[in-house]
Amino acid sequence: MYSTTAISQLNYMSFNQLGLSEPLLRAINKKGYANPSPIQEKAIPVILERKDILASAQTGTGKTAGFTLPILQILTQQSGNQKRKIRSLILTPTRELAAQVNQSVTDYSQFVDIKSTVIFGGVNANPQIKSLKEGIDILIATPGRLLDLHQQRALSLANVEILVLDEADRMLDMGFLRDIKRILALLPQKRQNLLFSATFSREIKLLAGSFLHQPILVEATPENTTVEKIEQRVYHVDQGRKTDLLIKLINEGNWSQVLIFTRTKHGANRLSQKLEKARINSAAIHGNKTQGARTKALSGFKEGSVRVLVATDIAARGLDIPLLPHVINFELPNISEDYIHRIGRTGRAGARGEAISLVNFDEVAYLRDIEKLTGQKIPSSSIKGFEPDPALEVAAAVEQLKTAKKPNARGGRNFSRKR
């Protein structure tokens, strides 16, 4: 379900008013959606008019249905008896997102004659090549595998009418700009372009300017405002005691599902192992994990067999993890915006969520930055038996003073973003 902000801002327009066909309305109905989300309300009519769009929307806003539904409508209106050709290409930055988008396309297209498939790296290409050969209308792909299979002539992009760049900002973050440009060069000149991005950096604007034609700007509510719906709390605790405190919180709160963020891949692995030792079923998800391990962890978490998912920021962004009651920051992120992304994983679909941050004295400066960004003071306390040891803080301060005197010494807050 999409984020609470989206729900609170609905003016109860119905899907019927968006100009969607009956088989699509039936699929929406089957999904149980009562009303379109704001991004759907804005984007669907514009896409149906065959205009390019530049949409600011993140995961949780319902953006996938926002582009999938009108694409399905356009493609079914024009489909004939001829052999299937790839008429829409949806590019995503990660394998997980590609798989999720394909699932949505499959769900929404169940009553229309449209076929889709998904291709991404890290797995055997043969089954993907086979399903491409069978003929598809919509291809969901990550850039690298798409270029690979194109080079092997396993697919043709000569008939693409609608291109979607999903999470374009992440694609650029992940270094896909050159691949995107190579892909754009393989597409027909005349086509409709839909660009979705959570942020609009200079690079995104440049990219958008390079291939969108008179785009209509479509904006969903920024995720920042969801923060108000989430109960946030800070527990001050020394780093070395965080795991024990976490185990206590999970056990005593009887939490059935919790998403935990760590700052590093290593930290995610370590924590997951410690939780397992404490008989708490857990899995880690981060960039060093194989595709199989990531898919397994995520599906285990969705089904409920994995109780705790430990993730890094990059791994978690873009994942659709519905209705999460608890999000824990095992460490605070050094980039304040990441805090908002992280806690946006809870408090969805009208349910209240809880976001707890375990903060040691080194992290207090990050906490202040986050409070500045959200404009809220987060209630802070400590749990009996886990109060921070003032002696440790004094010792660390002395250590810091010593290193600060050395030339070229870097403050603790300047480390690079490494995950």
Phi-psi region of 99 (alpha: psi -120 to 50; beta: other; left: phi over 0): alpha
Residue 16 to residue 110: CA distance in whole angstroms = 18
Is 169 an interacting residue with respect to ligand AMP (CB under 6 A)? no
Select the residue interacting with ligand AMP from 65, 138, 207, 356 (CB under 6 A): 65
Is 63 an interacting residue with respect to ligand AMP (CB under 6 A)? yes
Residue 418 to residue 273: CA distance in whole angstroms = 21
Nearer to ligand AMP, 46 or 149 (CB): 46
DSSP secondary structure letter of residue 414: G
275 contacts: CB under 8 Å, gap ≥ 6 = 243, 246, 247, 250, 281, 282, 308, 310
Residue 332 to residue 244: CA distance in whole angstroms = 17
Segment lying near ligand AMP (by CB under 6 A), choices 60-68, 159-167, 176-184, 232-240? 60-68
Select the residue interacting with ligand AMP from 56, 59, 73, 262 (CB under 6 A): 59
Is 197 an interacting residue with respect to ligand AMP (CB under 6 A)? no
Alpha-carbon Rg for the chain in angstroms: 23
Segment lying near ligand AMP (by CB under 6 A), choices 53-61, 181-189, 302-310, 378-386? 53-61
Q: Minimum distance from CB of 101 to ligand AMP (Å)?
A: 8
Select the residue interacting with ligand AMP from 38, 41, 55, 60 (CB under 6 A): 60
Count CB atoms within 10 A of the CB of residue 365: 14
Number of residues that bind ligand AMP (CB under 6 A): 15
Select the residue interacting with ligand AMP from 24, 27, 36, 340 (CB under 6 A): 36
Q: Minimum distance from CB of 10 to ligand AMP (Å)?
A: 9
Residue 105 to residue 266: CA distance in whole angstroms = 35
Nearer to ligand AMP, 33 or 255 (CB): 33
135 contacts: CB under 8 Å, gap ≥ 6 = 83, 84, 85, 115
Residue 383 to residue 235: CA distance in whole angstroms = 7
Residue 246 to residue 244: CA distance in whole angstroms = 5
Count CB atoms within 10 A of the CB of residue 284: 28
Q: Minimum distance from CB of 216 to ligand AMP (Å)?
A: 19
Residue 91 to residue 172: CA distance in whole angstroms = 12
Q: Minimum distance from CB of 340 to ligand AMP (Å)?
A: 16
Q: Minimum distance from CB of 364 to ligand AMP (Å)?
A: 33
Is 37 an interacting residue with respect to ligand AMP (CB under 6 A)? yes
Select the residue interacting with ligand AMP from 322, 350, 411, 412 (CB under 6 A): 322
Residue 410 to residue 404: CA distance in whole angstroms = 7
Which of 58, 57, 65 has the alpha carbon at shortest distance from 30? 65
Residue type, 46: V
Nearer to ligand AMP, 267 or 353 (CB): 353
Q: Minimum distance from CB of 327 to ligand AMP (Å)?
A: 16
- Contact between 37 and 220 under an 8 Å Cβ cutoff? The reply is yes
Site mask for ligand AMP (CB under 6 A), range 16-35, x = bound:
-----------------x--
Q: For residue 233, give Cα distances in angstroms to 37, 264, 327.
A: 29, 22, 11
Q: Minimum distance from CB of 124 to ligand AMP (Å)?
A: 27
Is 62 an interacting residue with respect to ligand AMP (CB under 6 A)? yes
Which of 163, 114, 115 has the alpha carbon at shortest distance from 143? 163
Nearer to ligand AMP, 37 or 102 (CB): 37
Tokens matching residue 300? 């285990």
Is 42 an interacting residue with respect to ligand AMP (CB under 6 A)? no
Nearer to ligand AMP, 14 or 251 (CB): 14
Q: Minimum distance from CB of 344 to ligand AMP (Å)?
A: 11
Is 323 an interacting residue with respect to ligand AMP (CB under 6 A)? no
Q: Decide: helix, strand or coil at residue 163.
A: strand
Counting Cβ atoms within 10 Å, is residue 338 exposed (0-12), middle (13-18) or buried (19+)?
buried
Segment lying near ligand AMP (by CB under 6 A), choices 63-71, 77-85, 202-210, 325-333? 63-71
Q: Minimum distance from CB of 56 to ligand AMP (Å)?
A: 13
Is 61 an interacting residue with respect to ligand AMP (CB under 6 A)? yes
Nearer to ligand AMP, 33 or 386 (CB): 33
Q: Give the footprint of ligand AMP on this chain (CB under 6 A).
A: 1-2, 33, 36-37, 40, 59-65, 320, 322
